[in-house]
A and B are shown apart, each in its own frame.
Chain A
Amino acid sequence: MQLSSRTLTRLAPWLLTLFVIVSWEAICRGFAIPSFLMPAPSQIVDTGIDMAAPIMQHATHTLLTTLAGFVVAVVFGALLGMLLGSSRLIYKAVYPMLVGFNSVPKVAFVPVLVVWFGIGTLPAILTAFLISFFPVVVNVATGLSTLEPELEDVLRSLGASRLDILRKVGLPRSMPFFFASLKVAITLAFVGSVMSETVASNVGVGYLMMSASSSMNMPLVFAGLVVIGIMGVVMYELFAQLERRITGWANRGQNSGM
């Protein structure tokens, strides 16, 4: 009984995915929905196989663009988070502006980037960066600023400098927060890069979908969506594994996912 419930937990995501695909297929066929409105999964797979080479080429480009933006976001976000988390004054000063900036829809910002940097990869990298650094900043800052006061007293009474406290306690302590934010940030980075490719690029999955939809090739549009989704899930899982490996001490015992 115990074993079967564990197996069920492991199989559940696959079963649900299968169920959705089968129902989707059944609905499309049952109601004879034309493929230019809503393609069935089988049609999407067919198109995906037919167009495998160009899809892979565009997807690789999107993946690299996303990762570039993501890496910049992580480095910048971690540094800014450290700054915010270690000084109350800086936190107070910067936070409102940061929230304001994060509230601006980044799609509205893409035209600005295009004016500055032209059409292509650079605006996509920057959009991925702009949309994904915020959770990293917030999490790192939170991890640093929630240090137990007694622990800080112990260290300060020993004559530890702020840098000592940051290195010995602050940073290791904020690692779980940091890795949690990476999982969110990588998925957001995909949103950013694809969005920018859709608006202003001639390469990448976003561009592929845009040009496919203008020729009413809906199966190809959906194939693009599926590819993005798969890339997102794979990257998310990669960082989840990394998190478990490095900061296992933070969620011992429970088999917590997020």
Chain B
Amino acid sequence: MPGQNEQRECLMSFVEFEQVSLRYTEDGPKAIEGVTLHIEEGEFVAVVGPSGCGKSTLMKLVTGLKAPSEGYVYVNGRQVGGPLGIVGMAFQASNLLPWRTTLENVMLPLEIVEPYRSEFKRRRAEFEAHARALIARVGLAGFEDKYPWELSGGMQQRASICRALVHKPRLLMLDEPFGALDAFTREELWCMLRDLWQEQPFTVVLVTHDLREAVFLADTVYVMSKRPGRILLERQIDLPRPRDIDVTYSDAFSAHVHVLREAIGRVRES
């Protein structure tokens, strides 16, 4: 899914990891080791692996919250040296602010990220319209002025993804965003995310435990090893798009899941 991007800088991918390792403490164990991967602009990438394999560490590296101990991380042709602002994040817990309504929660990034921040007062009405449109887009119309505790878990997660997207990030990082939801709600939200991404492509990195989720949504799935996390397998998911939820019952789909499942099985045994 090539984006209509304006600059093609020296043939570099949108996100590049080169032999990246990270230790959280000076001489502690490595959380990830020798990770090399390339993510193209507009690509949908999923990272799967056993618990504690350093998947969340990848998120911290890409967003500039942590600097690598060894190796280099490039995003958008530049070495990551700190928070970027072109990134949106959502986690397993929706982390909505309980004193703000859905709309106010979704608009939070606009109060922080430039260029929205300095224009927030002047263009408030315009931003609010944009946020309301996005909220309606994920199926939360009518809940804009409700508080988080008045929403179900699935609805909170929809709002959380709105918040991650409202400042039009070029890169969306998702850390098990559907992990705490029931199976039906989860599939609904897969479709919601699929539609959002298909309408207006942005780059997605989805960290998940759920292999079906990874295969259904992603272009490329990476399997990571136990700590220290390394990339063991990179698998292109060539299922045609747009994908319907029915595709999850096809043989091709099962074959992909099966290969990933075996790779993970080997990791867990080793």
Contact of A148 among B85, B93, B114 (CB under 8 A): B93
- Interface residue B109 (Cβ < 8 Å from any Cβ of A): yes
Interface size on B, residues (CB 8 A): 29
Question: Contact residues of A with B, CB < 8 Å?
Answer: 148, 150-151, 153-160, 164, 168-169, 172-173, 175, 247, 249-250, 252
Q: Cβ of B97 and Cβ of A172 under 8 Å apart?
A: yes
- List B residues 57-79 near A (Cβ within 8 Å): 60, 63-65
Q: Cβ of B65 and Cβ of A156 under 8 Å apart?
A: yes
Q: How far is the CA of A169 from the CA of B98 in the complex (A)?
A: 10
Extra pairs beyond A247-B99, A252-B149 (19, CB < 8 Å): A148-B93, A150-B93, A151-B97, A153-B65, A154-B91, A154-B163, A154-B164, A157-B64, A157-B173, A158-B109, A158-B113, A159-B84, A159-B85, A160-B112, A169-B97, A172-B99, A175-B99, A250-B98, A250-B99
The B interface, classified by DSSP as helix, strand, loop or mixed, is loop
Chain B: minimal CB distance from A192 (Å) = 32
Interface centre among B60, B91, B95, by most chain A C-beta atoms within 10 angstroms, is B95
Chain B: minimal CB distance from A157 (Å) = 4
Q: Cβ of A157 and Cβ of B98 under 8 Å apart?
A: no
Contact of A155 among B64, B84, B98, B112 (CB under 8 A): B112
With a cutoff of 8 Å between Cβ atoms, the chain B residues found around residue A155 in the complex are 112
With a cutoff of 8 Å between Cβ atoms, the chain B residues found around residue A173 in the complex are 97, 99
Q: Can you name 10 A-B pairs with beta carbons within 8 Å?
A: A150-B91, A157-B89, A159-B85, A159-B114, A168-B112, A173-B97, A247-B99, A249-B98, A250-B98, A252-B149
Q: How far is the CA of A169 from the CA of B108 in the complex (A)?
A: 10
Contact with A along B255-269 (1 / 0, CB 8 A): 000000000000000
With a cutoff of 8 Å between Cβ atoms, the chain B residues found around residue A158 in the complex are 83, 85, 87, 109, 112-113, 167
With a cutoff of 8 Å between Cβ atoms, the chain B residues found around residue A164 in the complex are 112
- Interface residue B111 (Cβ < 8 Å from any Cβ of A): yes
